[in-house]
Structure 1
Amino acid sequence: MMPSLNASEKAQERSATDPLLANIPIPPRPQILTAIEQELQRKHPSMRTIADLVAQDLALSAAVLKTVNSPAYGIARPLESIRQAVTLLGVETLVTLVTAIALRNQIPKPMPRFWDNSVRIASLSAAIASHLGCLNPSEAYLFGLFRDCGIALLWQRFPDYPETLHDANREFTRAFTAVEDERHATNHAVVGSLLAAHWHLPKNVVDAIALHHDRNVFQLDHAPEILNRISIAILAERIESLWSGRDEHYEWEKLGQAALDYLLLSDEAFAALSDELQDKWRARDAA
């Protein structure tokens, strides 16, 4: 049974009427995304033009190449140019990665390790998606990075948000977002979905961001594109916490088993996947 009003529509409706949300700074959509969108809307869009738009930003293009050359994409021979990347991976994958990396560059780092953790979760999400074959790796990467961007925006908006974040991470019974709602009358899932909508991300990405802490998300008839994103990111976050040794929250206890069940993964299969990915990342870091 689907809710009468979906998550992104609720967020949009609320943003139009809630002065509190109106005061949360939503970063503008980067100009490069607008330029790429305009090219894609042409009758005969040029892959070379899109590649050249990305290549003009040296920092952005370097970050894209670093991402596609990571273990998550399993490319045998490292790519050396954006033109190579768009030829091998396609325009859609390139644009998805540019969007994800532009987000990281557009939002200030709210706390130590925030973007480091987010990038690791995004990279692991891409690797899990590639392994399971249920979602394009670049889409999994985008969601892994965008999923918690609302935390950075709430950190900027509320001076006491660090305390809220601390308490929400240690809440064993209620949803993470329930603690935020209680303190600030909004939460990072709502704010993150507003940013995603503002940046013209696909509707299923907006909905997945809005729903990713919902304790009942796997019990409702949501689209596979939404549930695949959410479940893969839950697994990636768990692997990252095991890898880093920082198990600072109870999200796995709340949603982990439901995510495994949805993806038809046994505990043993997940443990083997976790070990394999941690070994790959350790080998990459040692290289």
Structure 2
Amino acid sequence: MNARTSEASLADAAARGIRIPPQPQVLLDLAQLMATDDYDARRVAAVIGRDPGLAAMIFKVVHSPALRGTRPPASLEQAIMRIGVGQTLNIARAVALSTSVGDANRRAYELFWRRSRELAELAALVADERVSVCNIFADQAYMAGMFLECGVPVLMQRFPDYCETLLLDERLDFPSLREEDQRFDVDHCSIGYLVARHWHLPEFVAQAILHHDVVPRDELGAVRSLVAILHLANHARLRAQRIHDYNWDRVGLEVLSELGLHPDDLNDYLADLQERGIGSPV
């Protein structure tokens, strides 16, 4: 999907009453500041600080094992200095998304974003550990994990009974999104791609969201590596919760090959992720 096609798809989505959420003003202000090339960690922290809720959530994310380094940062400015301004923008996008799509009073949305955060944290950890193999960084993987299924809450806003089983039991994972898409004649991957483009995510991240159902063979390099990271992160999340990962049956060997892991080492690798405090059963 190219830029012209995505513009047409945006118009088609609007015609069907599907609302692509706009970026919050704080992200627009942050992007504008960075476009001037006259910024430092203090000025970036000041812009983010205009939204105390966003600042607090970013600070919490930066405390995760994959991002904080050996010692947790003591302030938002220190966190920005440690991970870099570009990385901070990626984290800010990911955090802001969860407050821009959905109703905070709706249990289904709360459950959806909790699962997305779990996936994002695991993806960041996998990317950090595999960076020498894939050249995907933790902040990029975290952002991709948060945006991965963002088409779902967008479609839930348009079709209240899309993924209605999310309301039934928090121990259930997502229903078959392919079946949901067929039922409503939509494509949640394409909607997620449109959100990613509208929020100006890097193109390889947007393409990974579009193609994440498989490990794309025609999309090499960063797209394929990022999709593999997301599959492994989701496999770890489901396994920790003792939920069978049917996708892994299809793509597991390709994922491990892309990430430079041997199948015999998978159990130890997943155990190590869980020991680091991420992906434990809820």
- TM-score above 0.5: yes
User: How far did residue 122 of structure 1 move?
Assistant: 0.2
User: How far did residue 270 of structure 1 move?
Assistant: 2.5
The match for 1:268 among 260, 264, 271 is: 264
Report whether the alignment pairs 1:201 with 2:178.
Answer: no
Kindly indicate whether the alpha-carbon contact (under 8 Å) linking 2:122 and 2:279 is maintained by their aligned counterparts in 1.
Answer: no
Specify the alignment match of 1:235 in structure 2. 232
Specify the alignment match of 1:79 in structure 2. 73
- Please list the CA deviations of residues 16-72 of structure 1 after superposition, one character each: whole Å capped at 9, or x if unmatched: 3x3676411211111111101111111423332111111232221221121111122
Evaluate the alpha carbon distance shift between residue 12 and residue 252 of structure 1 in structure 2; reply closer, same or farther with a 3 A threshold: farther
User: How far did residue 219 of structure 1 move?
Assistant: 2.2
Kindly indicate whether the alpha-carbon contact (under 8 Å) linking 1:7 and 1:207 is maintained by their aligned counterparts in 2.
Answer: no
One-letter code of the match for 2:261? L
User: How far did residue 7 of structure 1 move?
Assistant: 6.5
TM-score (norm 1): 0.84
Kindly indicate whether the alpha-carbon contact (under 8 Å) linking 1:8 and 1:210 is maintained by their aligned counterparts in 2.
Answer: no
Give the Cα separation in 2 of the matches to 1:82 and 1:185: 44
- Please list the CA deviations of residues 136-155 of structure 1 after superposition, one character each: whole Å capped at 9, or x if unmatched: 10000000110001111111
Structure of higher RCO (CA pairs closer than 8 Å, 6+ residues apart): 1
One-letter code of the match for 2:130? L
One-letter code of the match for 2:187? N
Specify the alignment match of 1:127 in structure 2. 125
TM-score (norm 2): 0.86
Structure 2: gaps spanning 5 or more residues: none
In structure 1, the residue corresponding to 2:22 is in which secondary structure?
Answer: coil
In structure 1, the residue corresponding to 2:216 is in which secondary structure?
Answer: helix
Kindly indicate whether the alpha-carbon contact (under 8 Å) linking 1:197 and 1:203 is maintained by their aligned counterparts in 2.
Answer: yes
User: How far did residue 223 of structure 1 move?
Assistant: 3.7
Specify the alignment match of 2:82 in structure 1. 88
One-letter code of the match for 1:182? Q
Kindly indicate whether the alpha-carbon contact (under 8 Å) linking 1:15 and 1:22 is maintained by their aligned counterparts in 2.
Answer: no
Report whether the alignment pairs 1:281 with 2:277.
Answer: yes
Specify the alignment match of 1:211 in structure 2. 211
One-letter code of the match for 2:258? Y
Give the Cα separation in 2 of the matches to 1:283 and 1:180: 26
Evaluate the alpha carbon distance shift between residue 207 and residue 77 of structure 1 in structure 2; reply closer, same or farther with a 3 A threshold: same
In structure 2, the residue corresponding to 1:234 is in which secondary structure?
Answer: helix
One-letter code of the match for 1:46? D
- Please list the CA deviations of residues 189-227 of structure 1 after superposition, one character each: whole Å capped at 9, or x if unmatched: 1111111111111111111111111x4x4322x142211
Percent identity of equivalent pairs: 30
User: How far did residue 187 of structure 1 move?
Assistant: 1.5
Structure 1: gaps spanning 5 or more residues: 1-5
Give the Cα separation in 2 of the matches to 1:284 and 1:239: 9
Kindly indicate whether the alpha-carbon contact (under 8 Å) linking 1:52 and 1:82 is maintained by their aligned counterparts in 2.
Answer: no
RMSD: 2.7
Specify the alignment match of 1:36 in structure 2. 30
User: How far did residue 244 of structure 1 move?
Assistant: 2.1
Give the Cα separation in 2 of the matches to 1:95 and 1:188: 25
Evaluate the alpha carbon distance shift between residue 244 and residue 283 of structure 1 in structure 2; reply closer, same or farther with a 3 A threshold: closer
Give the Cα separation in 2 of the matches to 1:170 and 1:148: 12
In structure 1, the residue corresponding to 2:273 is in which secondary structure?
Answer: helix
Specify the alignment match of 1:3 in structure 2. none
Q: How many residues are matched?
A: 269
One-letter code of the match for 1:47? A
